[in-house]
Chains A and B, each alone.
Chain A
Amino acid sequence: MGLYGVMRTGVSGMSAQSNKLSTVADNIANVNTTGYKRASTEFSSLILRSGSGSYNSGGVDTQVRYAITDAGPLQYTTSATDLAVQGNGFFIVSSPQGTPYLTRAGSFVPDGEGNLVNAAGYYLMGYNLANGAPSVVANGVAGLEVVNIAQTALQGNPSTLATLVNANLDSNAPISAGPPNFTSKTSLITYDNIGNKVTLDIYMYKTAANTWDIEVYNNADSTAGGFPYSSAPLANDTFTFDVSATGKGALDAASPTSLAMTIPGGSAFTLDLSVMTQVATDFEFKANVDGNAPSSIDSVEVSSDGTMYAIYGDGTRKATYRIPLATVASPDNLSPEVGNVYSVSTNSGNMQVDFAGSSGLGTVKSEALEQSNVDLANELTSMIESQRGYTANSKVFQTGADLLDVLVNLKR
């Protein structure tokens, strides 16, 4: 073997160093690529069996490694659809042909149809929440669809419930003669099935000590905003208050605690009055009502658990998609593909899908991008290393060639 072996070993060394230089070149080229994961080379020796008196030089074998689990630093941006994963896990994206891939590059922007697509042309996948909670398939991508933030059909939500923050009826108010001589009045805006505002006029009459009648009318039936109303009250009931040392002005145990009605053109509506009191202070009635009017989507936001919300013009928000994260048993063994995406291989293990923040997965960070995990200083030193290594190997080759030359020249 002798000299030929030396030359082959030199070639194997040069080829190994050029592999190393190639990874350095890629790393430096992608130093600012969002979601890029550093490639590196590991070498292993190939030593041939040698006798005690002679040495047969072998070679070096190159293994390419990808630092996929090594997270890059986050860079803050101002776009709500720029997403980054903090912790383990990958976004599931699909190529235009529909093949699923994993990626950490989350610079998504809506395309002409409102589908979120990243810089490499891959579409973000998520569960559509339009039909309620999604059913997650833990080991596959079934049920996922391309996340779309285009205007969905304008749709309001009818009001169904009003809850009190606090409410008090003035215990010292004089006894009222009954409708239309109310003691106190307030009103609430609710929404019917098609999103019209329906104003409910709520009248309180103190009919006897600690006894109040509450009537709810539809404001649309009023005369100049008050009595007389052209239709009967939507709901009415008599509420009594417990003024004993235990009750301290809260609703009596025997008293009703809510009013149920159907909003004209709307849904069944409950006015929960359970926290109402009757103590010696001014009238007060502060309530929260659900429901919203139809309005267009103003912006979107993504919460840390991956839920994408549409924010409507009137300030209400609605969950539209849930973006899951996926991971594999050995992320570093994923096969890199063009566009910072990774495909599942036998080495990496199967894809496991779950929501962000659960089963060891990281959280989704909106308005941030994961930068490349390449460190320039590191790459430059590697480059010098490989350059020196390559030169040394070429010297070995050249020396082998020179010696062969000497050998050949022995015969004249």
Chain B
Amino acid sequence: MSLTVALSSARSSLMATGMQTAVIARNTAGAQLEGYSRKNVLVATLPGNGVYVAGVQRAASAGLFNNVLVAASATAKQDALYNGLQKIAATTLDDPELDQSPTAQLAKLKSALQQYATSPDNATLAQAAVTTAKGVATALNDASKTVQSVRADADADMATSVTNINQLLAQFETVNTSIVKGTIAGSDISDYLDMRDNILSKLSQEIGISVATRTNNDMVIYTDSGVTMFETSARSVSYTPTNAYTPATTGNAVYIDGVPVTGANAVMPVHTGKLVGLATLRDDAAVTYQNQLDEVARGLIEAFAEVDQSGAALPDVPGLFTYAGAPAMPAAGVINVGLAAAITVNPSVDQNAGGNPSLLRDGGISGNPAYTYNTTGEAGFSDRLQALVDGLATSRPFDPSALGKPNASLVDFAGSSASWLESQRKSASDEASYNQTLLERSADALSNVNGVNMDDEMSFMLQVERTFSATSKLISTIDGMLKDLLDAVR
């Protein structure tokens, strides 16, 4: 049987080199492809009959891939948080020319009041002081609006993220079933494994995940807090978006498999991923900054409040700055949610609204004569204006939960609020760039393991080509030998 066996071995060699060439072609085609992993042909010897292709294997490292997933989730979280904080800061802090920040506006108000106090009979300065006061109120209103729009955007992005997660889980189910089936049937599943890894990469951008592999390559996905996301089939990820945000609005939580995973009432809170970054922004960072703005507004109303001058022990009433709850004062020392959005300048001092700016000097802005400081009507009365300027520098208690200075002057508190926002933004930015570096390094490490090296592929191709030529030569030699034999038959 020697010649026939030789032919058969040569044929098996051709088959193996053909398969190797096909895989080199696949590798070359996939070299620049995101998420493509290098494939190898497993060639095994068949006793007495050459070689056979036992299967196609892909280069992969579960540990390194897991590092990439973790880093991607962490980066996505910090990126989402940073982008949101950046939006708030861009309109409130980062505008030195327009001086739109509440702190800058407060400083302007202080200097306008000081100027007015030096010449209290000057109606122009009075009007200028009222105009800067309106600037402060508008800055607070705008900042509050910006914060709420950032929250609304985050909410909408969360809805998109949840839709993405559900779509990815549905895709995952199809691919996972193919992999399980292929593993049992022993077919080439390496491309499906690439697809599954790709889906996991995308999923890890949205939410922090941990995965486990069961028998037959069946994969199970959990959130990084252990909530089941995929086990045999996808679990529901549900979320009801809120369209409009006011400072008092609390956004809805995301539920996975019936468990709330974001927000204050989360039982098994997820730690990383874009979804978490957005939820942190919406439920935490933006809310705290809104609280600080509300505290600034409350401080303003308190600093400009009018005290009863008639001796009748009437309660204090809001003066230059007022709000919807006037004439009652906002409760002292606690956050009045939404005050920054509602604060206005009392129209009775606004010339444009038919008011009288000099009430700022005289008192009685609320309309009750009992609160008039300048009882004699002196044009040079500056005591009240001095008191107001001092009031801006007087230390007053602020709600500690607003995370600003708990006991500080209004200007200091506004400054501490700005630096809180800045520090949050900076730490988010630092974390984001740290995680980005980690992600790049992890991706590099993974790519070193499963990436396609063109040099390797090309040199391997040369080897395969040599084997193919040698085998072809062998076949033609055997053919020649058989021909000689046939010629011998006459």
Contacts and interface: CB of A to CB of B under 8 A. Distances in A.
B173 to A, nearest CB: 11
Contacts of B52: 76
A185 B212 contact: no
Interface stretch (B26-34, B251-259, B441-449): B251-259
B485 A380 contact: yes
A224 B258 contact: yes
B232 interface: yes
Interface string A252-282: 0000000000000000000000000000001
Contact of A301 (B185, B222, B257): B185
Given A288-B214, A373-B1, A380 B46 contact: no
A248 interface: no
Given A165-B212, A375-B2, A185 B267 contact: yes
Contact of A165 (B214, B216, B238, B485): B214
Contact of A184 (B15, B218, B268): B268
Interface in B199-236: 212, 214-216, 218, 220, 222, 225-228, 231-233, 235-236
Contacts of B236: 225
Interface stretch (B176-184, B293-301, B326-334, B457-465): B176-184
Interface residues of A, number: 52
Given A225-B255, A283-B225, A315-B184, A73 B4 contact: yes
A283 B212 CA distance: 14
B454 interface: no
Given A226-B255, A315-B177, A384-B489, A76 B15 contact: yes
A315 B180 contact: yes
Interface string A309-341: 101011111000000000000000000000000
Contacts of B53: 76
B25 interface: no
A387 interface: yes
A186 interface: yes
A222 B215 CA distance: 30
Contacts of A311: 181, 184-185
Contacts of B5: 73, 375
B268 A383 contact: no
B4 A374 contact: yes
A188 B231 contact: yes
A377 B4 contact: yes
Contacts of A384: 488-489
B481 interface: yes
B353 interface: no
A8 interface: no
A186 B221 CA distance: 11
B12 A76 contact: yes
Given A187-B228, A286-B220, A75 B257 contact: no
A186 B228 contact: yes
Contact of B482 (A301, A371, A376): A376
A289 interface: yes
Nearest to A219: B258
Contact of B489 (A80, A378, A387): A387
B4 A187 contact: no
Contacts of A182: 267
Contacts of A377: 2-4, 481-482, 485
A253 to B, nearest CB: 27
B424 interface: no
A313 B238 CA distance: 29
A371 B8 contact: yes
A189 interface: yes
A66 interface: no
Interface string B21-45: 0000000000000000000000000
Contacts of B485: 377, 380-381
B486 interface: yes
A225 B177 CA distance: 24
Contacts of B48: 73
Interface string A171-182: 000000000011
Given A188-B231, A315-B177, A377-B482, A201 B258 contact: yes
A234 interface: no
B61 to A, nearest CB: 21
A181 B212 CA distance: 27
A307 B428 CA distance: 59
B267 A380 contact: no
A222 B53 CA distance: 52
Chain B binding surface, main DSSP class? mixed
A185 B257 CA distance: 9
A387 B481 CA distance: 20
A374 B5 CA distance: 10
B385 to A, nearest CB: 55
A80 B185 CA distance: 9
Contacts of A378: 1
Contacts of A185: 227, 257-259, 267-268
Given A185-B258, A225-B238, A314-B177, A288 B215 contact: yes
Interface string B74-100: 000000000000000000000000000
A220 B4 CA distance: 66
B186 interface: yes
Contacts of B15: 76
A250 interface: no
Contacts of A284: 222, 226
A376 B479 CA distance: 11
Interface in A181-214: 181-189, 197, 201
Nearest to B210: A284
A377 B489 CA distance: 12
B445 to A, nearest CB: 24
Interface string A284-300: 11101100000000110
A74 interface: yes
A283 B226 contact: yes
Interface in A134-166: 165
A98 to B, nearest CB: 33
B309 interface: no
B49 interface: yes
B251 to A, nearest CB: 17
A73 B268 CA distance: 61
Contacts of B185: 80, 298-299, 301, 311
Nearest to B485: A380
Contact of B226 (A73, A225, A282, A298): A282
- Most A CB contacts (10 A, CB to CB) among B2, B48, B225, B267 go to B267
Contact of A187 (B216, B235, B482): B235
Most buried by B among A74, A222, A309: A74
B40 to A, nearest CB: 19
A211 to B, nearest CB: 19
A292 to B, nearest CB: 9
A82 to B, nearest CB: 14
B489 A74 contact: no
Contacts of A225: 236, 238, 255, 257-258
28 contacts: A31-B4, A73-B49, A185-B258, A185-B268, A186-B228, A187-B228, A188-B228, A189-B233, A197-B232, A224-B258, A225-B236, A282-B225, A283-B225, A285-B222, A285-B226, A311-B181, A311-B184, A314-B181, A315-B184, A315-B216, A316-B184, A375-B2, A376-B3, A377-B2, A377-B482, A378-B1, A380-B485, A380-B488
Q: Which 6 A-B pairs have the closest CB atoms?
A: A225-B258, A315-B180, A226-B258, A375-B1, A283-B226, A189-B232
Interface of B: 1-5, 8, 12, 15, 46, 48-49, 52-53, 177, 180-181, 184-186, 212, 214-216, 218, 220, 222, 225-228, 231-233, 235-236, 238, 255, 257-259, 267-268, 481-482, 485-486, 488-489
Given A284-B226, A285-B226, A285-B228, 14 more contacts: A75-B8, A76-B52, A165-B212, A184-B267, A186-B228, A197-B233, A224-B258, A226-B255, A282-B226, A283-B225, A315-B216, A375-B1, A376-B482, A377-B4
